[in-house]
Amino acid sequence: MNVSGSIARGATLMVLFKLVERGLGFISTLILARLLVPGDFGLVAMATSFITLIELMGAFGFDISLIRLERAERVHYDTAWTLNVAVGTLLAICMLGAAVPLSHFYGEARLPPVIFILACGSIATAFENIGVVEFRRKLEFGREFRFQIAKKVAAFMITVPLAFTLRNHWALVAGMLTSRIASTTWSYYVHPYRPRFSLGAARELIGFSKWLLLNNFLFFFKERGSDFIIGRLAGRSALGLYNVGYEIANLPTTELVAPINRAAFPGYAKVAADAEGLRKGFLDVIAVVTLFAIPAGIGLAAVAPIACQVLLGPNWLGAIPIIEIVAIQGAITALQSNGFAVYLALGRADLATRITAGYVIMLLPLSAALTASKGITGAAIACLVTAAVFAPVNYFVLLRKLDLPVSRFLAVIWRPASAACVMFYATRAVTALLAPVVPGLIALLLSVACGAIVYIACVALCWRLAGSPAGSERAVIERAKSLLAKRRPAASG
């Protein structure tokens, strides 16, 4: 089995699937932003930040442990499911007990009932069929996508109609609860495995997962720690602006890269003992990330002012600097996020934990200081500065562990990265020319089209100048040729 090729194909497939999923989420966000106010999003963000933090107390990552096991047996799966159920139920009780104190912390009396509903969703998630881990373990990415997309569709079908009817935060809460219930229900339909209660392999699973638990805590504070700071210092409306801006800014980068990493880890685990195979798989994945995610993030930063006005409306203009700054930060983060999957495959989750700990130690004090002085824009700046500082640190460690020369790594990323920079300035120039004289939506579409054309042309030129090497560019061209060849007979017929 060509595992390196499977990693690259799986990563590309999951990117395309994620585009569909996030496209649905983006449409939902645009509709909800027109129907609800920033305060609604801020109230729900206060609750979800707390819920996520509590859930991380039980996030042992047993699915990762199962994927790493060379021969996972029924006792391992049953134990993982039993631990998930026990820990999930216990943590839901903790959520209910802390709901009132949290409402006092934020000064929001409406928080407790929201937390109660979301706690029910946490219990539903705890019972999810552990058998779906097999999709990633066996590199069955098509089945993985169908499972993931079903719960998003369910949430969309509930949230949007309720937003039209209720016009308040309960539409968001109902969508989240529906998504979790649908995920658990669907997991038993798509996979025949039926778990039983067992603790036979508890010691074996928990032994590896302790580092994952700590890393999950740190990752939470890396991604959501600013929510507590903003909510406390600036209030729920400011938090709502920040969260929506942050979510939109991350759509084309970290949200796009997440499924790549999800697809890559099982492949990395299979070739962890083969140093060159692991290096090749890593470079293949980074090539895909750079080719797709980097220009998407940089392009969003370029059109953020006009995109926010056209798509979100006047209530959300305060999110423009957040989108501009966080989109660039997301592009930087996307380039290094795949390192975590490599560390896990090598059995060195401690390295990822230490790097993330350093990131959080720098981010939170900087975020608090800049939020106090510059508001939510300061929080976004703190994210960008911290990401820029830790990118070279992460790659210094990662390339050493892979024994990968810097020149070989740069040879993969320089073409798309350079083309994305050219695209940014070209798109900004076109937007500045069109915005004053062309209707907003048309100006946005023309700016995006211009950016895409410039990026593709620059990547193609750099690729040719480099001698048309093997890589993601060639893979995309060959795939396009294959699709065209399939269509021609049908068209002629």
pLDDT confidence band for 451 (50 / 70 / 90): very high
- Our measurement of the distance from residue 88's CA atom to the centroid of its chain's CA atoms, rounded to an integer in Å, reads 23
Between CA 246 and CA 243 the distance in angstroms is 5
Each residue's pLDDT tens digit, 469-490 = 876 777 677 666 666 666 555 4
Nearest to residue 115, comparing CAs of 39, 45, 47, 43? 47
Residue 264, H or E segment: helix 254-270
Each residue's pLDDT tens digit, 392-426 = 998 899 999 888 898 888 888 889 999 999 999 99
Residue 154 confidence (pLDDT) above 80:
no
Cα torsion through 217, 218, 224, 227, rounded to 10: 90
Average pLDDT over residues 115-143: 82
The CA distances from residue 67 to 131, 208, 302, 402, in Å, are 12, 12, 40, 21
Average pLDDT over residues 91-116: 89
Sign of the C-alpha dihedral computed for residues 30, 31, 34 and 40 taken in this order: negative
Between CA 415 and CA 231 the distance in angstroms is 41
Q: What is the pTM of this model?
A: 0.69
Average pLDDT over residues 82-90: 88
Q: Which of 46-55, 140-149, 315-324, 375-384 has the lowest mean pLDDT?
A: 140-149
- To the nearest whole percent, how much of the chain has pLDDT over 70? 84
Non-local (6+) Cβ contacts of 371 within 8 A are 226, 229, 230, 233, 234, 378, 379, 382
pLDDT confidence band for 1 (50 / 70 / 90): very low
**pLDDT number for residue 333:** 85
**pLDDT number for residue 155:** 73
Residue 208 confidence (pLDDT) above 80:
no
Between CA 337 and CA 293 the distance in angstroms is 12
Average pLDDT score over the chain: 82
Residue 99 confidence (pLDDT) above 60:
yes
Instruction: Name residue 44's amino acid.
Output: V
Between CA 52 and CA 48 the distance in angstroms is 6
**pLDDT number for residue 388:** 92
* Burial of 355: CB neighbours in 10 Å, binned 0-12, 13-18, 19+: buried
Residue 282 confidence (pLDDT) above 50:
yes
Each residue's pLDDT tens digit, 14-66 = 555 566 666 676 777 778 888 888 888 888 888 888 888 787 766 666 777 77
Nearest to residue 379, comparing CAs of 367, 391, 388? 367
DSSP 7-76: HHHHHHHHHHHHHHHHHHHHHHHHHHHHHS-HHHHHHHHHHHHHHHHHHHTT---HHHHHHH-SS--HHH
Record the tokens describing residue 101, joined without a space.
């104190």
Q: Are 285 and 8 in contact (CB under 8 A)?
A: yes
Between CA 104 and CA 98 the distance in angstroms is 10
Phi, psi dihedrals of residue 36, rounded to the nearest 5°: -115, 170
Between CA 186 and CA 168 the distance in angstroms is 28
